[in-house]
């Protein structure tokens, strides 16, 4: 066989194999999204949720959340010192209320610890975590093309590694899926992976809410020393 033809054939086969490897994680992501949101309900998701956050040595915190993705609306309410604090965001326009009275004065906003930056962070936080794994398709998300496998406590997981454009985020995330059920059972993030900082979150008690599979329980731990930081329990309103 002509040596040039042999080298050419080898290169073509190598590129084909590389392409197959590069699409592994992306193909698997499509599979797990189809499992968690089989009817593509997340883009039109409208729902009311209650999240009870339990933190060691602190009183439970109950948060009411309204998400309306088609109308770009997010509402978060909880009770602080006997008063109902509400943040409402439509698109990126933020409004604050205490006992249904709108707080527009900067001095009052500071008194009640309302900030636009914090409000937008909380919206992005809740819609991101409860919109997973569908949110991994968002613009600015960089999915590592390699699909990883990892064994934790004698159990194997399929793992998707994700980083972000600098305008979106700086952390490195790993998403752990049961290879048989395709359920997302854990995710983990690092600010600096070499320092083993950041946290991991164990997910359990899957609930189907408006056609979307969501973990009802999320337990947060530190990567470095496995310290329990808190547990969120989700219920549908």
Q: Map the chain to HEC letters.
A: CCHHHHHHHHHHHHHHHHHHHHHHHHHHHHHHHHHHCCCCCHHHCEEEEEEEEECCCCCCEEEEEEEECCCCEEEEEEEECCEEEEEEEECCEEEEEECCEECCCHHHHHHCCCCHHHHHHHHHHHHHHHCCCHHHHCCCEEECCCCEEEEECCEEEEEEEEEECCCCCCCEEEEEECCCCCCEEEEEEECCHHHCCCEEEEEEEEEEECCEEEEEEEEEEECCCCCEEEEEEEEEC
Q: With 70 as the cut, is the pLDDT of residue 5 above it? A: no
> What is d(CA 63, CA 128) in angstroms, rounded to the nearest whole number?
16
Summarize the confidence of residues 155-173 as an average pLDDT. Answer: 94
pLDDT of residue 224: 94
Calculate what percentage of the chain has a pLDDT beyond 70. 90
Write the pLDDT tens digit of every residue in 116-156: 999 999 999 999 999 999 999 999 999 999 999 999 989 99
Are residues 214 and 234 in contact, defined by beta-carbon separation less than 8 angstroms?
A: yes
**In contact, 191 and 199? CB cutoff 8 Å:** no
What rounded mean pLDDT belongs to the chain?
A: 90
Which band of pLDDT confidence, cut at 50, 70 and 90, is reported for residue 7?
very low
pLDDT number for residue 23: 53
Q: How many CB atoms lie within 10 A of CB 121?
A: 11
CB atoms inside a 10 Å sphere around CB 199: 16
Q: Is pLDDT above 70 for 30? A: yes
Q: Which residues pair with 203 in a beta bridge?
A: 218
pLDDT value, residue 153: 87
pLDDT of 13 over the 70 cut: no
Q: For residues 70 and 94, give the distance between their C-alpha atoms in angstroms, rounded to a whole number.
A: 17
For 185, the token pair is 């059972």
User: For residue 33, is pLDDT > 90?
Assistant: yes
Residues 6+ apart with CB under 8 A from 102: 95, 96
pLDDT at 65 over 90: yes
pLDDT higher than threshold 90 for residue 195 = yes
Strands 184-190, 155-164: pairing kind: unpaired
pLDDT above 90 for 182: yes
């Amino acid at each position: 066989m002509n040596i040039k033809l042999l080298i050419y054939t080898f290169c073509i086969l190598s590129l084909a194999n590389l392409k197959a490897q590069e699409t592994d994680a992306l193909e698997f992501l499509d599979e797990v999204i189809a499992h968690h949101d089989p009817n593509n309900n997340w883009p039109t998701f409208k729902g009311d949720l209650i999240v009870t956050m339990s933190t060691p040595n602190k009183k439970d915190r109950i948060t009411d959340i309204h998400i309306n993705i088609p109308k770009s609306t997010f509402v978060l309410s909880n009770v602080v010192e006997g008063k109902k604090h509400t943040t409402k965001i439509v698109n990126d326009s933020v409004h604050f209320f205490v006992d249904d009275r709108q707080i527009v004065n900067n001095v009052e906003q500071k008194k009640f610890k309302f900030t636009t930056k914090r409000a937008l962070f909380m919206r992005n936080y809740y819609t991101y975590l409860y919109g997973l794994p569908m949110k991994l398709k968002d613009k600015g998300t960089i999915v590592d093309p390699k699909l990883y496998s990892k064994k934790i406590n004698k159990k194997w997981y399929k793992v998707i590694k994700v980083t972000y454009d600098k305008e979106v985020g700086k952390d490195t995330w790993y998403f752990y899926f049961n290879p048989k059920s395709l359920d997302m059972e854990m995710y983990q993030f690092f600010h600096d992976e070499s320092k083993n900082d950041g946290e991991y979150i164990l997910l359990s008690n899957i609930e189907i809410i408006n056609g979307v599979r969501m973990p009802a329980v999320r337990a947060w731990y530190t990567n470095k020393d496995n310290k329990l930081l808190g547990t969120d329990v989700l219920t549908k309103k």
